[in-house]
Amino acid sequence: MVDIKPFKGTRPFNEEAKSLIAPSTDHLSIENIEIFRKNNYWNYLKILNPVGQLKETDTLLEAKLHFDEMKQNNVIKKDFDNHYYVYQISFKGHTQTGFLSLANIDDFRNEKIKAHEKIYENRMRERAEQMLNIKTQIGPIYVFFEKNNNVSDLLNKKTKKIPDYDFESFDKSVHKLWCISDKDFILDLSSVFSKEVNNFYIADGHHRMGAMKLISELKYNKNIIQDNFMIAAFPSNEAKIFDYNRVVKDLNGLSEEKFLELISEKFKIKKEDKPFKPIKNKQFGMYHENNWYSLEYKELLKNNSFIDTLDINILNNSIFRKYLNIQDVNNDERIRFIAGCHGLDALEKKVNENKDSVAFSIFPSNISDVMKVADNKLTMPPKSTWFDPKPLDGLVVYEFEK
């Protein structure tokens, strides 16, 4: 079973929450984010990466000064009592209801909190440096848990009341937050997780998770509470995964005719008269030279490992590595990843801008596959899952200095 704890969150007080949160390049261009930053003096962007050069000493100082200034001016304020924060996000007709709490680092060490992505050392250490600079976790680690009716009942009762925060974010998602200090509710929610919920699965924030584990191991500062970290937890049946599509810069010197001939060995190819979005596993869309195609994988994968049967790896192994000479999907500069929330128009735009490029639309990863990968201590291929909507950075932050 997993352990959750209420905490004294630091949250917007004399400033609108939508002005403070840190917008992401997921939905906004870098140019629009810079406009957002300039138009909102009080903003967590100045703390997360104030000038874009995290490791410079003056940049870290600038971040710390802005955070201190926000607190001194009561732009943000820390709660006096422990809370659970019931959190509801609505986006494009989809609604998910969860909560913000603390979780215990030992549950991650003991694999009760499970990862499905590889954690890279340099990114983990950069995150740790960022958090240690202000002794604060600004963004929660987004986790999900298997559907539990008792949890849903407890949360839904609270959402019938007027929320403490209710606003539309930069990406048009609507965020509502109920700040709950009621001791009976806290006891009941804690009890359900300690008795009925076996695991958390990390949806987004693997490097933040690695950073918090690293911070817990430093043991150099007795003023840091090193055992806990902040999560945003949602039930698995409500966490939504979009497709994560690919654009490759060129056909590796192959003509269109030759490329189609080669991939037809393992794929049934059909020319489509409109953009093709896969509706099932082992099915792909392909866009090249103003033409859309549907691809259907023809082979049975009986003796392959579970990881090799994932749609992403069928594409990696049967097309990218074999014919396009992309051996390292994560680092090859010829490949770009585009989240499905941007639609198939985004794939067409990228390909039309660059002659000879090709795009692939992919069926979204199933959340049960993500859980199976994590349960078996495996890792998903790079850029396999796009969880959206996501909890915001800066709505509630966790100051872990005593």
Give 95-124 pLDDT, tens digit per residue: 999 999 999 999 999 999 999 988 888 889
Instruction: For residue 378, tell me if it sits in a domain.
Output: no
Instruction: For residue 374, tell me if it sits in a domain.
Output: no
- Could you tell me what percent of the chain has a pLDDT over 90? 66
* Helices 149-158/183-196 angle, 10° precision: 160
Residue 181 has pLDDT above 90, yes or no: yes
Is residue 76 located within the same domain as residue 33? yes
Instruction: For residue 371, tell me if it sits in a domain.
Output: no
| Alpha carbon distance 127, 308 (integer Å) | 31
Residue 87 has pLDDT above 90, yes or no: yes
Residue 55 has pLDDT above 60, yes or no: no
Of residues 329, 325, 319, the one with CA closest to residue 263:
319
Is residue 43 located within the same domain as residue 132? yes
DSSP type of residue 299: S
Is residue 171 located within the same domain as residue 264? no
Instruction: For residue 281, tell me if it sits in a domain.
Output: yes
DSSP 162-215: PPSEEEE-TTS-EEEEEEE--HHHHHHHHHHHHHH---EEEEE-HHHHHHHHHH
Is residue 358 located within the same domain as residue 391? no
Instruction: For residue 381, tell me if it sits in a domain.
Output: no
Give, in degrees to the nearest 5, the angle at Cα 311 between 91 and 173: 10
Is residue 162 located within the same domain as residue 278? no
pLDDT given at position 53? 45
Instruction: For residue 370, tell me if it sits in a domain.
Output: no
Quick one: residue 219, left, alpha or beta (phi over 0 = left, psi -120 to 50 = alpha)?
left
| Alpha carbon distance 130, 61 (integer Å) | 11
Instruction: Categorize the per-residue pLDDT at 58 as very low, low, confident or very high, splitting at 50, 70 and 90.
Output: confident
- Token pair for 194: 């300690």
* CB-CB neighbours of 156 under 10 Å: 12
**Minimum mean pLDDT range among 278-282, 345-349, 382-386, 389-393:** 382-386
Is residue 254 located within the same domain as residue 231? no
- pTM comes to 0.90
Is residue 132 located within the same domain as residue 64? yes
Domain that holds residue 305: 244-363
Pair type for strands 200-204 and 113-114? parallel
Residue 355 has pLDDT above 50, yes or no: yes
Is residue 40 located within the same domain as residue 172? yes
